Amino acid sequence: MEVQRRDGWIEVICGSMFAGKTEELLRRLKRLEYAKKSYMVFKPAIDNRYSETEVVSHNNKRMPGYNISDEEQILKLVEKKNPDVVAIDEAQFFTDKIVKVCETLADQGKRVIVAGLDTNFRGEPFGPMPYLLARAEYVTKLQAICQVCGLPASRTQRLIDGKPASYNSPTVLIGSEESYEARCRHCHQVLKDDEWFRFSKISFQGS
């Protein structure tokens, strides 16, 4: 029996902050240009740290993209322009609807490349990412370098005024190098509220 080849799949690039997820996403898209493949790039509207009209990596590599506030917009824009490949950056900031959007696009024959943080600053699964990882055909987990000990880092350390954040601080707090560091599991710290209060009090008294 002859098996007909069918296109369409999901690739997920994940890891901590500063692991190079967006850079890897942009690298894959750049290769598509040599193959003369068309693509569209999307990111959540909440991520406007570097640009509102571009997807930008921490090392300032950039590519034009669409800011999206509702995941359904992706399907409408893709239907209109019909690219070969759909790329989505910072997927952790979308709602669970992004999972259905990615599956719909893959079922339509699109190559879907998704990049995002797999865990939040607490070290717990972040937003829709675990569901995307479960449904992806291909998964790439990148490692950063721990800024404390230099070992491979898979976690994101949130710092508030230079101190480890409390477990109960908000999950979404857009920042850059001043607010976050890459850490290994041994150097990663998440303080309970009473620990954070004591830590802050000691730091204040010593300043």
Reply yes or no on whether 54 is catalytic: no
Choose, from 11, 71, 90, 181, the residue flagged as catalytic.
90
pLDDT tens per residue across all 207 residues of the chain: 555 668 999 999 999 999 999 999 999 999 999 999 999 999 999 876 666 677 877 776 778 899 999 999 999 999 999 999 999 999 999 999 999 999 999 999 999 999 999 999 999 999 999 999 999 999 999 999 999 999 999 999 999 888 898 898 877 765 544 589 999 999 999 987 655 445 444 444 444
Q: CB 47: neighbour CB atoms within 10 A? A: 18
Which residues pair with residue 155 across a beta bridge?
183
Tokens at 162, concatenated: 């230079």
What pLDDT score was predicted for residue 32? 95
What pLDDT score was predicted for residue 107? 97
What pLDDT score was predicted for residue 194? 55
- Please give the model's pTM, rounded to 2 decimal places: 0.86
Domains in the chain (CATH in brackets) are 9-206 (3.40.50.300)
Provide the angle, in degrees to the nearest 10, between the axes of the packed helices 72-81 and 97-107: 20
Given a contact cutoff of 8 angstroms between Cβ atoms, the answer to whether 55 and 26 are in contact is: yes
What pLDDT score was predicted for residue 199? 46
* Helix spans in the chain (H): 21-34, 72-81, 97-107, 129-135, 193-206
What pLDDT score was predicted for residue 196? 44
What pLDDT score was predicted for residue 98? 98
What span, in angstroms and rounded, lies between the C-alpha atoms of 55 and 49? 10
